[in-house]
Chain A
Amino acid sequence: MNFSKNAFRICVGYAFLLTLSGCSNSDPSAVALIPVTYKNLNADYAPIVLTPAGSETRPKQTNRFTFFSFLTGTLVNRTDSATSKWDVAFRGTTIIVNGGKNRKGNASVQLVDGAFEDLATAPIDGYNTDNQVDDRKPVPTSYAIQDQSGKGWYTVDPLTRLIAPIPEKIIVVRTSDGRYAKMQILSYYQNAPATVNNLTDLDRYYTFKYIYQPGASNNF
């Protein structure tokens, strides 16, 4: 699988971070948190097939989410979807959060505008959870991170249909374990090409960067 190498590297990096923060638990802000970049998270990629009428289908699409935990910095198995082990999950352009009445976890999320590095503290309040009842029949506006062009984390070009992450959108997460994380989506296409070619580049591959604050602090 194409993410195992990444996941391994991130795990190792993470263990190191955890050790550091364990040493200085009394003052977590003293530790410089290093942003981690997670590459090519497969959010239900399936090749586009053109029908003779010119419309598109994705017959091999699974409609399943890919789950992610900031604590471990890894994907979470789909069998654990009804647990609090994950924080956010990805399917196409939809990002859900593990909290609220439909989910087992306690995570919540909000969008903050700015440069990733400049966001030194996570807001104390203002976090939301999804109101979505049935993820098989998604209503874009009912997600805490709205799944609509210009309303959530991305814009869609009406002509090329290319998805561009809005540069200043920072997704701040209160995680299932009650910590804070900030993440920024960097690309929606495999290997994050500088110029996306909608004929050759595969979509539904997230590259994002994040910082997880393991201590009881909202500082990053």
Chain B
Amino acid sequence: MKNIFGQIKVLLIVGSVAPFIAMAQGTDTLHFQQLEEVIITATRNERTMGSLPMPVTLVQTPMIKTMGSVRLNDVLTEQTGLVVVPQINGQGNGIQIQGLNPDYTLILVDGEPIIGRYTGTLELSRLTVGNIKQVEIVKGPSSSLYGSEALAGVINIITEKPSTNTAKFSMRYGTNNTLDLNTTGGFVGSKWNVSVFANRYSTDGYDLSPQNYGKTVSPFLNYTLGSRVEYKLNNQTILSIGGRYFGENQDYSFDVNNKGNSIRTYGAGKITDWNLNTMLSHRISNRFKLTGRFYVTNYETDSYFKLERNDSLTKQDNYRQWFKRFELVGDYQFAPNHITTFGTGLIDESVVTNRYFGLTERTLQTKYLFIQHEWNPISPLIVIGGIRYDNNSKFGDQFSPKLSVQYEVSSKLVFKSSFGVGFKTPDFRQLYYNFYNAAGGGYNLWGSEIANERISEFQKLGLIQSYSVDLSTIGTLEPERSLSINIGAKAKLSSFLSWDVNLFRNNIDNLIDYLPIALTTSRETIYSFRNIKKVFTQGIETDLGCRLGSNFSVSIGYQLLFAKDQAVVDKVDRGDEYWRDPITLQTQRLKSNEYFGLYNRSRHTGNFKVFYKNAKSGWEGSVRVIYRGKFGVGDVQGNIQGEIIPASDQNDNLILDEYDNFVPGYALVNLSLAKSIQSLRLQIGVDNLLDYTNPIFIPNLPGRLIYGSVSFSLFEKSKNQ
């Protein structure tokens, strides 16, 4: 491999938008990375993987195709250090990076955020990977460039830009009557190019507990449509307008299990999500480029539930969210080894929903400024520093600095480190949520902004029996903040063996959690949100990659993770934490090493993958084993199919310790085999070969899925030539 820093210099001179394909082509690493290994998310500029001091994962389309993935969760779940976890209601798929909850990872498509989170989790399966070029994952806080939510990391889906006229069609059919239809088209003129994309995905869902009425995942159908037009106004100026639409319909039927009584319920849900993205980029000089972007997106859900016996409406829910952003970004090259990127923007967000108190529109405005400087003082050293200032209409000022340094000891060894601050402003739900759960035995959960108003209402009606906290402490939430450090190394152990390691530590202060604030006269607890927790996550992630011959590549990935509540750690260390043996009923003091940590975190996760690709014969295949170690579960909101989900805590201390019940670890084995004959490609595959399921604790994991797919392209010249 050529010295990556040699490449970097070239890259810095050229600037940003120019094609880098030529640069990375000299690489002889793994097959699936032989295309351009350029990522944009880490610095907001196109940079080669090797020049980035922060932990970055890149998954490109050839790899995604070989894996047979169709939705974003399929792709992410196989990457080292990324764990796909269910949402708080036990269903769906969110992403956990470095042990941090899905709420703390920003998800972008072409640099613009996707909105619409259910209790903080963005549902990954909403995003198809049928039209993408690559998925870029930056781990560690990226608030210095992206602001709120980019606390654990950023995932950016880069869609394909046509380089020639193409039309591609693919169809995949598999278990559960799951059908994925995909077409993409690209048309290229001398001054313009157009891409269009359509995806239809339908499934009958699946049922992991046939003894219960209804399915674990009900049947659904969704469409994704997208298009982008790029027009070159002149040699310096490019205008681009793109849009994306997603619509999904789902029908439900299930039992609501209430203290042994089952109430058959049916319903339907609808999600629509669209965005429009306009971008004008102008090169003022060889050194200076300005890009203006306007982005608007809307997310809506509507659902209802009715009783089967008399069709009476039990629940109706709607949610409308808007996000508008204007942003101006410039990059200026002072010298080939000095590049500054700076930007400013305005964000306007609003939500109207029956979940919040009052049907009034809730809004938040954010203004921000950021600056980043990339400096390459001497050839082996790269320094990237940046800071972002956010001013939020409700939460005031936030400063998020980040500093990353990379040093190349030799062509075989590179050290990387980055240090940064991340933040997440409280979401609308934490501010305005107005939830009453009657079925669960009765409790209220109120957002911090409405809690005082609701309390005084209840007080007037004489419904408050007692307070659990000082009332003056309710009503103000602050952003959650993290301080993180990543230190790693990349080593080329031999011509065919490469090793990557990263040590991380994230400290989050001010973590928002709900706590009881009062008790009603009917003995129902009232909860609200407060900045009460302090947690940390730390660990090691490592990848070992090996190339065997010219057709095989083998990799092993592993993450060791400790994610703990600081207050519990302190309490255990003081000797003030106890547990009761559920059999003998004996109370004992908990030892320091017996506290396991936060729920839903596996100490050990890993993967083992073998890929085969023979460009000449057109055969490709893969065997991937994905392991997730044991983990604990806390309370899960809502019963799935009437099943009671028992919390892990078995010894009444409300924390997860070695004596509790864990969800056992498991391994998924995925296989795929494909053959390309000119522009036709046939693939068969099995996901979860061993048919591992855990209906109660891992409802988002279907059993064995067998599929076959066909794809072909028109006009497109083979990339393997």
Query: Which residues of A come within 8 Å of B, CB atoms?
Result: 48, 50, 53-56, 113-116, 139-141, 148-151, 155-161, 164-168, 184, 186-187, 192, 194-195, 197-200, 207, 209
Contacts and interface: CB of A to CB of B under 8 A. Distances in A.
A159 B637 contact: yes
Interface residues of B, number: 42
B589 A115 contact: yes
Contact of A167 (B261, B579, B583): B579
A33 to B, nearest CB: 17
A194 B583 contact: yes
B456 interface: no
B212 interface: no
B259 A199 contact: yes
B440 A148 contact: no
A194 B580 CA distance: 10
B650 A167 contact: no
A141 to B, nearest CB: 4
A148 B579 contact: no
Contact of B644 (A115, A141, A168, A199): A199
A200 B646 CA distance: 14
Contact of A140 (B439, B519, B650): B519
B587 A164 contact: no
A113 B587 CA distance: 11
B551 interface: no
B441 A56 contact: yes
A157, A165, A168, A197: most-surrounded residue (chain B CB, <10 A) = A168
B583 A54 contact: no
A165 B651 CA distance: 9
A199 B582 contact: no
A155 B465 contact: no
Contacts of B284: none
B440 A159 contact: yes
Nearest to B579: A167
A195 B582 contact: yes
A159 to B, nearest CB: 5
B652 A115 contact: no
B259 A56 contact: yes
A50 B465 contact: no
21 contacts: A50-B258, A50-B261, A56-B441, A114-B578, A115-B588, A139-B465, A141-B466, A150-B468, A150-B516, A155-B652, A157-B647, A158-B443, A159-B441, A160-B441, A160-B635, A161-B440, A164-B654, A166-B653, A167-B580, A168-B578, A198-B644
Interface string B629-655: 000000111000000101100111110
Given A54-B258, A195-B650, A160 B644 contact: yes
Interface string B449-481: 000000000000000011010000000000000
Closest 9 CB pairs of A and B: A161-B441, A194-B582, A168-B578, A167-B580, A164-B652, A186-B585, A167-B578, A167-B587, A141-B466
Contact of A166 (B260, B650, B652): B652
Interface string B570-587: 000000111110110111
B578 A115 contact: yes
Nearest to B525: A158
Contacts of A187: 585
Contacts of B654: 155, 164
Contacts of B582: 194-195
A56, A159, A186, A207: most-surrounded residue (chain B CB, <10 A) = A159
Given A50-B259, A140-B465, 16 more contacts: A56-B259, A113-B576, A115-B589, A116-B587, A139-B465, A140-B519, A150-B516, A158-B440, A158-B516, A159-B635, A159-B636, A161-B440, A167-B651, A184-B587, A199-B260, A207-B585
A199 B261 CA distance: 9
Contacts of B588: 115
A140 B259 contact: no
Given A55-B442, A158-B527, A192-B585, A167 B644 contact: no
Interface string B494-518: 0000000000000000000000100
A198 B519 contact: no
A38 to B, nearest CB: 12
Interface in B219-272: 258-261
A209 B439 CA distance: 34
A194 B588 CA distance: 16
B525 A54 contact: no
Nearest to A151: B468
Contacts of A48: 259
Given A115-B588, A167-B579, A195-B646, A157 B635 contact: yes
A209 B260 CA distance: 31
B587 A168 contact: yes
A207 B516 CA distance: 27
Contacts of B465: 139-140
Given A148-B519, A198-B644, A115 B441 contact: no
Interface in B644-688: 644, 646-647, 650-654
Nearest to B652: A164
B438 interface: yes
A205 to B, nearest CB: 14
A54 B468 contact: no
A208 to B, nearest CB: 10
A148 B653 contact: no
A167 B586 CA distance: 8
A190 to B, nearest CB: 14
A156 B466 CA distance: 16
Contacts of A165: 580, 652
A177 to B, nearest CB: 27
Given A140-B465, A159-B637, A168-B578, A194 B644 contact: no
Nearest to B314: A54
A187 B516 CA distance: 23
A189 B191 CA distance: 76
Contacts of A166: 652-653
A199 to B, nearest CB: 5
Contacts of B441: 56, 159-161
B653 A167 contact: yes
A167 B654 CA distance: 10
Contacts of A167: 578-580, 587, 651-653
Contacts of A161: 440-441
